[in-house]
Amino acid sequence: MLFLKKEDIINSFSMREAIDADKEALSMYSAGKASVPLRTNIDVPKSKGQSLYMPAYVDGANGALGVKIVSVYPENIKKNLPSVPATMIVLDPETGIVSACLDGTYLTQLRTGAVQGAATELLARKDTKIGALIGTGGQAQSQLEAMLTVRELEEVRIFDIDFERASQFAKEMEEVFSVSMRPTKTSQECVEGADIITSVTTSKQPTFSAEWVKKGAHINGVGAYTPEMCEIPREIIKKADVIIFDTMDGVLEEAGDFISPLKDGYVQEEDYQGELGQLVNGKLIGRTSDEQITIFKTVGSAVLDVVVAAEIVKKAKEKHLGMEI
């Protein structure tokens, strides 16, 4: 069995490769070539946490099989521990034997950033210059890297409910990416005039207002993954011209910000055009003008984990990285 730490993954696989792998994963999912049960989500009220189990199998020449065990423990930050610890188990599709074990925390960050990057690449205007990032938790850096991988941004505004944390994050990221990072004291200052808006929080109320969004903006909803959570305001969902999900069943089962307006009759199911994989496969049309507002929502899917993990293992073996156990 191959064991890959975060550093092994970083040294064997780039964000660009992860974006392409995510596109391939969702392409196969939308084409019916993947078996992905909805994840099992176990509440752990005593620790204010949740434990999730995400299995998947992808058919085809590059078949992939695996399960990711991921927990969401927001209180871990106070203990200086990851708030989203995870482990990825890769199995050989031909034998069912475990072939690799990966740092699932970093894998989650990488493939989640990458799926937003894939959507931004396909839906955002080509001439985007200003990005807005709401939330500076464990997922934030990969979200930022993905935006900067697919678009040449001149400035990224950073907002967090803790301004000091936003300022520190902006300072660190400016050194990493050599792009102007501006911490903002309000969500409005962050969002107004931005070409790409990415929200990655566990908020139970919208993280910005619809009237702050300019024409032609692209919005990514990344953080809300339960029916109680809500990042994207329903008014912008109604106003948007194009709304695409990573997986239709996943979002309509788990994402409160898109379930609630549908349940209330505020929007109709046909307002949700379809899946990113359908866009990749040419079955859907995305943005058709620079004036349109586009929205992408992801709740994550094990199909992303198994395909990206399988590609990482392949690259790591080529480069002789990791530890054989």
Question: Nearest to residue 235, comparing CAs of 255, 199, 208, 198?
Answer: 208
Per DSSP, helices labelled H in the chain are 6-12, 15-30, 104-123, 140-150, 163-177, 187-191, 234-239, 248-254, 256-263, 276-280, 302-318
Are the C-beta atoms of residues 287 and 296 closer than 8 Å to each other? Answer: no
Q: How far is CA 272 from the centre of its chain?
A: 18
Rounded Cα–Cα distance for residues 232 and 103 (Å):
30
Catalytic residue among 23, 48, 68, 79: 68
- The maximal CA–CA distance of the chain, rounded, in angstroms, is 55
Strand (E) or helix (H) holding 40: strand 40-44
Q: What count of other Cβ atoms lies within 10 Å of the Cβ of residue 301? A: 28
**C-alpha to C-alpha distance for 121 and 261, rounded to whole angstroms:** 27
Look at the alpha carbons of 168, 205, 110, 276 in this order and tell me if their dihedral is positive or negative.
Answer: negative
Dihedral of CA atoms 128, 134, 140, 141 in degrees, nearest 10, equals: 40
Q: Is 68 known to be catalytic?
A: yes
Range 66-91 burial, b when 16+ CB lie within 10 A, else e: bbbebbbbeebeeeeebbbbbebbbb
Q: Is 198:224 a contact under the CB 8 Å cutoff? A: no
d(CA 33, CA 172): 41
Catalytic residues: 68
